[in-house]
């Protein structure tokens, strides 16, 4: 009970920060009112999370969309800015971005809060399903934009065009204020709406399914989790492996075993739930061993 109150406060704080991040990333109110995409100078800059360029309120660019735009460009397949941005953010924060700064991640969080008859901790074959996001990154974000080009050598942003539910959600917002554009939507938009609908439906009973299995940005930051400056560490002297951290984790990660798992979004629930304060977070934090508490956990 003593740990329950701090955990609730922590989750409310994270909700608030995710809300502020989403509002700042999509602060161009005129775009929502007029149904037009913001074209100002800040669009040349990437935001850390998945936030579609085509959202009428978006002030910056999605790093995955920017990466595809560069990779698929005729005669230019690299960008020091986009590559450096992803490497820098990943090496510094890892998937902390996913847990605290990604608007589409927050969207899934809100859906999971909706009451549902049965919530699942994971799906059968979770380990293998989680590898699918790397396949999406490799094939749709990198290989196809480079090699599947048109007659002038221009690639297509395959992931953005065929998959991204964040882009579809942004498209719905754009269509709401643009009647002429609504009249020309076709089967491709219907297909992407189906993907969005499935994502929404599964998010009601499984925490962040898109982040777990599909998101290529999460795949990049997930790899960075293993060496990022911001990380979790376990005080092995204090930890009794009671499993409280795993029970608190909506992604069902045994933090006491794998504190820097590529699946971890650094939400911090495990830290607040640990009855022995054995989990620390920070930039290359080195925990100071504490005296081991008597074995056993009552909560």
**pLDDT by 10s per residue, the chain, length 299:** 455 678 889 999 999 999 999 999 989 888 877 777 888 889 989 999 999 887 888 999 999 999 998 888 876 666 789 999 999 999 999 999 999 999 999 999 999 999 999 999 999 999 899 999 999 999 999 999 988 887 777 888 899 989 999 988 877 766 665 555 555 567 888 898 999 999 999 999 999 999 999 999 999 999 999 999 999 999 999 999 999 999 999 999 999 999 999 999 999 999 999 999 999 999 975 555 544 443 444 33
Give 25: exposed, middle or buried? Use CB within 10 Å, 0-12, 13-18, 19+: buried
Tell me the three state secondary structure of residue 198. Answer: helix
Which pLDDT belongs to residue 296?
A: 42
Which pLDDT belongs to residue 237?
A: 93
Which pLDDT belongs to residue 146?
A: 87
Which pLDDT belongs to residue 181?
A: 56
Nearest-angstrom CA–CA distance, 99 and 90:
13
Between helix 103-113 and helix 187-203 the angle, nearest 10°, is 50
C-alpha distance from residue 170 to each of 54, 77, 104, 116, 200 (Å) = 6, 27, 10, 26, 14
Which pLDDT belongs to residue 186?
A: 75
Yes or no: say if 243 and 276 are a contact pair by the CB < 8 Å rule: no
Q: Hey, what are 134's tokens?
A: 């790397």
């Amino acid at each position: 009970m003593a740990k329950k109150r701090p955990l609730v406060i922590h989750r409310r704080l994270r909700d608030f920060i995710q809300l502020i991040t989403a509002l700042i990333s999509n602060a161009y109110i005129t775009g929502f009112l007029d149904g037009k995409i913001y074209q100002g100078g800040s669009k040349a800059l990437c935001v850390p999370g998945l936030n579609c360029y085509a959202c009428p309120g978006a002030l910056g660019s999605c790093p995955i969309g920017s990466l595809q735009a560069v990779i698929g460009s005729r005669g230019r397949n690299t960008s020091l800015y986009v590559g450096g941005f992803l490497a820098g953010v990943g090496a510094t924060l890892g998937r902390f971005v996913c847990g605290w700064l990604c608007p589409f991640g927050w969207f899934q969080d809100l859906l999971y809060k909706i009451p549902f008859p049965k919530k699942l901790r994971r799906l059968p074959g979770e380990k293998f399903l989680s590898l699918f996001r790397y396949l999406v990154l490799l094939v749709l974000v990198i290989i196809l934009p480079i090699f599947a080009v048109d007659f002038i050598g221009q690639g297509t942003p395959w992931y953005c065009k065929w998959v991204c539910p964040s882009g579809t959600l942004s498209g719905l917002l754009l269509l709401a204020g643009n009647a002429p554009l609504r009249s020309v939507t076709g089967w491709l938009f219907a297909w992407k709406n189906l993907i969005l609908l499935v994502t929404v439906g599964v998010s009601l009973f499984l925490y962040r399914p898109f982040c777990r299995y599909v998101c290529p940005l999460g795949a990049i930051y997930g790899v960075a989790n293993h060496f990022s400056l911001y990380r979790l560490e376990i005080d092995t002297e204090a930890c009794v492996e009671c499993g409280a951290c795993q029970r608190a984790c909506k992604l069902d990660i045994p933090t006491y075993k794998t504190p820097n798992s590529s699946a971890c979004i650094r939400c911090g629930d495990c830290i607040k739930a640990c009855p022995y304060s054995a989990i620390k977070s920070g930039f290359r934090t080195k925990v100071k061993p504490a005296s081991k508490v008597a074995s056993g956990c009552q909560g």
